[in-house]
Structure 1
């Protein structure tokens, strides 16, 4: 298959991506209005909230999988420089802008943050980077991390991706899920930094499927 044919295939519309996006958006909204789940009570309402939480928990991993599925072959469409320019304008600028807005809101409107956040540059930057103004922005830092590794993953030839990413997913699952659990049974602290983690595994999964 030559490059022109590859570009044509990449450009083909995939309705599955749209369906997954829409479903994940609905699930995220359901999670965000389901805050009562964090206050346990023995009643039917809490049971329904628990079911909602469990049913919709897949939403964020799906967003990461969509990121991998739609961006892994970006080299067929544009250069790495353009790739980062697009990511910066589409997510970087909005993240910084709305983080700043949320910090001012948290200081002056909701009084969630103390006023000294605005008087110290280090504290202010910390509030942006660690999404202290709006906790649900936690999604952005791991997303940015994935943007940084996608150019590396994209260098893996298509015929080797399935096995390579299957291996990566297995390693991420063992390190993030199995090893900490097994060590907890032995009462051994797990102090190994998790490289990649579940979000990277989601990109691996998107390529495998």
Structure 2
């Protein structure tokens, strides 16, 4: 049974709130790394960044837990009129706003090329890098009827088999090729690891595995320890191959860590609401998509426009403060934006909330 309070699935709400914070921390420390003065600072920034790489996979797993539920109907009207449309509108609107940001604050001149650049950025994906997530969600939504057919028509063993095959070829295969330096000729006709996260979220949410929460938590901790170790080793050896592997969500360490963090949350006993904690979690979850989009504008203003160097003013503590400021500003703007009348709110793309319809 799902852990719910007033129709909300508590563990998903808490997990998505924590993942939202982790995404902001990830981008903040990664941006601050450009100002690192020595190897120690560089290793610290990248270690924290890499230790937060579980966040996006957990968001995708939460989507799988909710939308792949056979009892949760997904009509084509809802699919295209709500999910895909809102993502597409968000992509268009925020790509335009971010291009305007660049021309006004970076280039110091707004030109007639604004609309042409916006069009090209949308089509070619050459806008702000974090916008890749919108393309990902559109791709997953378009394939969702097919993915749902798998969970609706398949038994537990087939879904587990699918996840094993996806993990082997889309996560372990790149690792083996990186270690051996050789390309294998074996492959499957799927190129993206993200459907794996969808089905993993579905499996864990529906208790395909009944391992205790402490086991998941311990394994996730080991995964984070390995992340720090390989990050340090990567910096020492300056290996481009390992750097590329650690920069990908298909990295087996990230896949296992995200799986175990999701499993730890879903396996926690108790369904009692914790007033302050769950109020904060609910707020962050509701605003998570807006926070994701807007926090990058705050970071870009701090690091690219003002050229603020955190290592001249407090070091890592300054980076932490920047992450908190970015989170609070992006949350505040999103919260105010949510109060705007319905016409404007149509372009507010909220993710599937942790509740059942």
| Aligned-residue CA RMSD (Å) | 3.5
Which 10-residue stretch deviates more, 21-30 or 101-110?
A: 101-110
Q: CA deviation at 1:26?
A: 0.4
Q: CA deviation at 1:44?
A: 4.1
- 1:22 corresponds in structure 2 to 17
Task: Call closer, same or farther: CA 1:165–1:119 in 2, change over 3 Å.
Answer: same
8 Å contact from structure 2 (residues 16, 59) kept in 1: yes
Greater RCO (CA < 8 Å, at least 6 residues apart): 2
Distance between the aligned counterparts of 1:138 and 1:131, measured in 2? 7
Q: CA deviation at 1:30?
A: 0.3
Q: CA deviation at 1:164?
A: 2.8
Q: CA deviation at 1:197?
A: 1.8
Which 10-residue stretch deviates more, 102-111 or 187-196?
A: 187-196
Specify which of 99, 103, 119 is matched with residue 125 of structure 1.
119
1:32-76: CA deviation from partner (whole Å, max 9, x where unpaired):
211233676545433432331132110010111111112123763
Distance between the aligned counterparts of 1:195 and 1:62, measured in 2? 20
Task: Call closer, same or farther: CA 1:145–1:63 in 2, change over 3 Å.
Answer: same
- 2:158 corresponds in structure 1 to 164
8 Å contact from structure 2 (residues 19, 59) kept in 1: yes
How many pairs does the alignment contain? 198
- 2:231 corresponds in structure 1 to none
Distance between the aligned counterparts of 2:202 and 2:34, measured in 1? 34
- Flag structure 1 segments of 5+ consecutive residues without an equivalent: 1-8
Q: CA deviation at 1:96?
A: 1.2
Q: TM-score, normalised to structure 2's length?
A: 0.47
Which 10-residue stretch deviates more, 13-22 or 194-203?
A: 194-203
Specify which of 134, 137, 144 is matched with residue 140 of structure 1.
134
- 2:169 corresponds in structure 1 to 175
- 2:78 corresponds in structure 1 to 82
Specify which of 133, 145, 148 is matched with residue 154 of structure 1.
148
- 1:48 corresponds in structure 2 to 44
8 Å contact from structure 2 (residues 151, 159) kept in 1: no
8 Å contact from structure 2 (residues 68, 148) kept in 1: yes
